[in-house]
Amino acid sequence: MKLVIAMLMDGVIYASWLFIIAAGLTLIYGVMRILNMAHGSFYAIGAYSGASLVGFYLAGGYPPWGAYLMLLGAAIVSGALVGILIERGLLRIMYGRDEVVMILVTYAILLILEDVIKLIWGVDAYFAYQPYTLLGRTKMAGISFANYDIALIFVAASICFLLWWGLNRTRQGKLLQAVIHDRDTAAFLGINVTKMFSITFVIGAVLGALAGSLTAPGISVMPGIGVEVIILAFAVVVIGGLGSVGGALMGALIVGLARSAAVHLYPEAELFVIYGVMGLVLAFRPQGLFAIATARKI
Amino acid sequence: MRNSTLLVLGAGVAVMAAGMVMPGWLTFLLTLALAKGLVVMGLLLLMKAGLVSFGQGLYYCLGAYCVGVAGDYLETQNALFLMLIAVVVCVALAAVIGLLLCRYRDIFFAMFSMAFSMILYGVLVKSSAFGSSDGFNVKPPLLFGWTPTGEPGPLMAYGLAVTAVTVVGIFVWNYLRSPMGYAGEAVRENEIRVEYLGSSVRRIIYIKYLLAAAMAGLGGGITALAAGHIDPEMAYWTTSGEFVFIALMGGTGHVAGPVIGAVLFELIRTYAFQISPYTWQMILGIALLAIILYLPKGVWSLVERFTKEKTS
Amino acid sequence: MSALLETRSLARNFGAVTAAADIDVSINAGEIVGVIGSNGAGKTTFINMVTGYLQPSSGDILFKGKSIVGKNPRQVMRAGICRSFQVAQLFPELTVLDNVLIAYGLMQHRVLPMFRPLATGNSIKQAENLLQEYGIESYLPEKVMTLPQGVRKLLDIALAMLREPEVLLLDEPTSGVAIDDKFDLMDTVMQAVRKSGAGVLFVEHDMEVIARYSTRLIAFYDGRVLADGPVAEVMDNEKVKELVTGHHLEIDYKREVAHA
């Protein structure tokens, strides 16, 4: 029983984290048809800005609760800044190219941003554990969980709700769905697709940065974290179906629970299980669980 | 055609001879570059068919581990025997994975091939028998117990790499001119037409996938012997990304593209790393963007432009 | 004697939509059967089913008395039924010569050779001859994507004829072709067809073309065969006039038939 609760909780916590990362990735793909490798860098940039801003803030002796606002602010500012810069400066001249070429373009951006991060923050690790420990821990069926991790579940749920609400209950969101469904027709109907692209990319980048800054208190922030994360996010969105937010949620839950089961039962399989599940899902549902893309026939 | 085969053979012998007088670091760099060139030649076959594999690291790494593990367990340093094992194992695995992958195109092919290489990475990182994430050391190669310098070392691996690139290069050169080679371009251009001409698109892709796996395994095996050390990083997605990068840089228009691309890549990386260790990735990234923007057909297109001007 | 190609109660649904229902059609050797029908009448669906691109929901397709249902396009093509496409299916980035060479290469070998070159003196000569037959040899070094629509359609049909099919299915051979060129195109195609003696079924919207070249006419409506018979008879059919051709047809098709 204890093991089951531990597995479930760990799984859901991990899934929440995965969802926050994957949501931005899948949104950008759905609207722009760009599988954004640089999403990992957005994550890393968010983590670094969050960690360093919290560090400055707490060193100033301000009330510790404000640190959470700092994490949020760091993510929004850094994500939006990087997002706008990349979309305006680079992606805009690349639109219309083959999807695979766009992967390479964003791969190049990832390489560049990895070093930009090193130039700004150096190669030493950053720690910002205060927001993590401040919330304390809760005992559940004899197992202790960090409240910060539990809060992450609620954050993920809120993001999921906001995305759903934004896409289905707002005018802009409905226009965006039109673009997702059929870009050419949407443009023909007078929707400003370029503007939609910019907005989507910035929202996606902010989500990526937010995932990073929210993770920062629980880890040591150092070079290479983005490269690791992007591949996990890929697995999640591919399982769920590229471009589908609901799919990302399902994918995150599946990967989260599978990994947590592996960690508790057979730790050697931790990494294997993620891609194993992915392979299994794809063998039966080639386009992912909630696919919006269609395969070529013959 | 016979003339160009002779030309390539001659070039191979010349490069081999040059290895005797080159400084050690250059021999080592070229060996690794040529090994990568082999992997990218395989990738070229797939890319000609419009398929970009972001997972050739799978076979690169598997080939390397085959050489390492077989060398340990069978207690052999016989380079040819080890290469054979690497290629056979890689083709066997590709024969299974290929059945699934040949159903996919575009971005899906890219992502799923990447997923498979990450599975191997995940397994190796947790396999303490193979040194987990640290990997393990590989004994230097021998050719039926013989080496050129009396002791097993880098020159042997270099010779192996040059020979492999020459032989595979001649094969690929002829292959690209054969009906099977052209079938790749046909698949890229119009699958419906290919099917209505009586050929199976899946079978064409499958065969190309097997060939690419064999070449990647060979490249990985040579890398293991040359570097004397292997680790799971060879299956990490960034390694596969490098191969796509090299293919793009060299260009897919000619067999020489991957080799030129690989040597150029290793040179840029080595120098960029020496000059500024913190920005070498940035330099590579900018180079990649510049190639996509200004040289979409790779460095080889410069050579073609030059030779065309000369002849016209 | 039974027909060369015969379909029996052929039907196909896409979900709740019926694209074809109860289609009984036959083609004999040497016949040139025209097919008319408005968009969505099931003409292309019919060709797709016969050539194995779509599997029928029910019904049977007999070729030389044997069922070919369940075969894929490769097997159907190798059996001797070839088709052209409404939008020419070619290799657009490659030259016309390469298109033809690849077509020969893929068709001649079940297992594609890896060590023999595709382009040899003989194969190039063969390709040149084919293009000459269709009067498009001057486009040999051009990339397909740069060709005029009419040339693309001719090349598409030429590739369908490579196998020397016993049944040839043409899907709107003159659509997208300039009005001045459509008869030239059809003349070229028909000349090649007559030489081979194949049975032809061609879908066409252009009534002048239908009237001039078909020996028999089939009218499709709403996934069914509305009328099947001699050209004049089908054209005079009241239902065909009402549902397919419209009342205001101005062409004197009898004269056109006599002309052909």
- 3-state SS class at B230: strand
How far is A135 from chain B, CA to nearest CA, in Å? Answer: 34
**pLDDT for B280-302, tens place per residue?**
888 889 988 988 888 888 878 88
Residue A222 lies in a domain: yes
Residue A23 lies in a domain: no
- CA-based nearest residue in chain B for residue A237: B111
Which of C89, C101, C115 has the CB atom closest to B174's CB atom? C115
B-chain residues within 8 Å CB-CB of A269?
122, 126
Residue A291 lies in a domain: no
Chain B contact for C17 (CB, 8 A cutoff): no
- A115 token code pair: 């070093």
Please state, in angstroms and as integers, the Cα–Cα distance from residue B29 to each residue in B161, B226, B269, C91, following that order: 11, 10, 10, 40
Helical ranges in C41-136 per DSSP H = 43-50, 73-79, 96-108, 121-133
Residue A34 lies in a domain: yes
- Contact assignment for A275 to B111 by CB distance below 8 Å: no
The whole-model pTM stands at 0.88
- CA-based nearest residue in chain B for residue A291: B108
Average pLDDT of C139-146?
93
Entry field: residues in chain C: 260
Quote the domain boundaries for residue A190: 28-230
CB–CB of B245/B292 below 8 Å? no
- B190 token code pair: 């119009």
- 3-state SS class at B41: helix
Average pLDDT of B182-192?
93
**pLDDT for C97-135, tens place per residue?**
999 999 999 998 888 888 888 888 899 999 999 999 898
- Contact assignment for B190 to C94 by CB distance below 8 Å: no
Return the pLDDT at B306.
Answer: 78
Q: Residue B83: enclosing H or E segment and its boundaries?
A: helix B79-101
Chain B contact for C84 (CB, 8 A cutoff): no
Please state, in angstroms and as integers, the Cα–Cα distance from residue C23 to each residue in C11, C202, C226, following that order: 7, 16, 10
- Contact assignment for C119 to B177 by CB distance below 8 Å: yes
Return the pLDDT at A211.
Answer: 94
CB–CB of A252/A18 below 8 Å? yes
Return the pLDDT at B144.
Answer: 62
Entry field: residues in chain A: 298
**pLDDT for A18-62, tens place per residue?**
999 999 999 999 888 899 999 999 999 999 999 999 998 988 888
- B231 token code pair: 């680790």
Chain B contact for C121 (CB, 8 A cutoff): no
- B220 token code pair: 């990985």
Instruction: Encode burial over A72-84: b for 16+ CB neighbours within 10 A, e otherwise.
Output: ebbbbebbebbbe
3-state percent helix, strand, coil for chain A, nearest multiple of 5 = 75, 5, 20
C17 or B98, greater pLDDT: B98
How far is B286 from chain A, CA to nearest CA, in Å? Answer: 7
Residue A257 lies in a domain: no
Residues contacting residue C86 through CB under 8 Å, at least 6 positions apart: C44, C171, C172, C175, C203
- Rounded to an integer, what distance in angstroms lies between the CA atom of residue A104 and that of residue B53? 12
- A175 token code pair: 């226009």
Residue A117 lies in a domain: yes
Q: Which residue from B270, B158, B167 is spatially nearest to B223, judged by alpha carbons? A: B158
**pLDDT for B59-97, tens place per residue?**
999 999 999 999 888 877 788 899 999 999 999 999 999
Residue A141 lies in a domain: yes
**Around Cβ C133, how many Cβ atoms within 10 Å?**
15
Domain count, chain A: 1
- Contact assignment for C113 to B180 by CB distance below 8 Å: yes
A-chain residues within 8 Å CB-CB of B111?
35, 234, 238
Return the pLDDT at A141.
Answer: 75
